[in-house]
Amino acid sequence: MAAAAHEPEVIRDKAVMRAWSRCRRAEGKAVALVPTMGFLHDGHLSLVSAAVAAAAGPVAVVVSIYVNPSQFAPTEDLATYPSDFAGDLRKLAATGAVAAVFCPPDLYVRGRAGHPAAGASGGAVSCLEDAGGHAHETWIRVEQLEKGLCGSSRPVFFRGVATVVSKLFNIVEPDIAVFGKKDYQQWRVICRMVRDLDFAIEIVGTEIVREADGLAMSSRNVHLSCEEREKALSISRSLMNARTAVLNGNNHGQQLKDEIVQTLKEAGGQVDYVEFQSLTFSLD
């Protein structure tokens, strides 16, 4: 995306964010939201480009940066999720297309000094961790689409995603929201939530962005050693081989799945699931 560098406004307060969006809309601009958890890469920046392209006229693009604790199980990597806020701001400024960055400290905080949910020091505490009767207890579930696939091994993930995305929608009040299809089930869950709950938001899905060698771009890739990164390439390579087989007329779905599983296991991977529709199989 070629544009002059433009430093986006950094907003941390929910009420300020909501007021900002309403001011932009009063100026005749659409508001487009790109939700992220930070540690941005070119895949994220492609979402910014898609947000600009999706608007029919003037648009104010908001990128949210928030590592959502409610989508992580206790055994997952919340504490080690990569972060580089200063670097993220530089990358977003370089696009010249981002008007604001929304980075709330905690979307689940409800405690305050003098309130029963406040911590011993009198400061705010996360209601996800508060057992004193003030815990966050309102969740959104997309009951059928969250089942199976990633939902089988991550039972709290889609509940957390749907809830935090709905919170972001209520705070930012976007006209457009952009999500990558790398997390395909997540994208489908959000589309269904928007439909079922009558959010007046256009949901845009963008295709996977890959490194030159085929590895799907991900913030967590930074944790991979050289050896692990090489092994991770077995994912895209096995999918490409299956795609080639389908294009050559092989519609034996179970055989193709078994071959993918075997390739991944030989590379040292632990396979949660392999699913695809052979007639519409695509690596994208």
Tokens of 204: 């845009």
Tokens of 30: 């659409």
Nearest to 197 by CA among 158, 141, 150, 159: 141
- Cα 175 to Cα 58: distance, rounded to the nearest angstrom: 12
Number of separate helices (H) and strands (E) present in the chain: 8, 6
Give the chain's length: 284
**Catalytic member of 6, 44, 115, 223:** 44
Clarify whether 44 is annotated catalytic: yes
Phi first, then psi, for residue 158 (nearest 5°) are: -70, -30
202-206, strands of its sheet edge to edge: 9-11, 98-102, 59-65, 30-36, 176-180, 202-206
Active site residues: 44
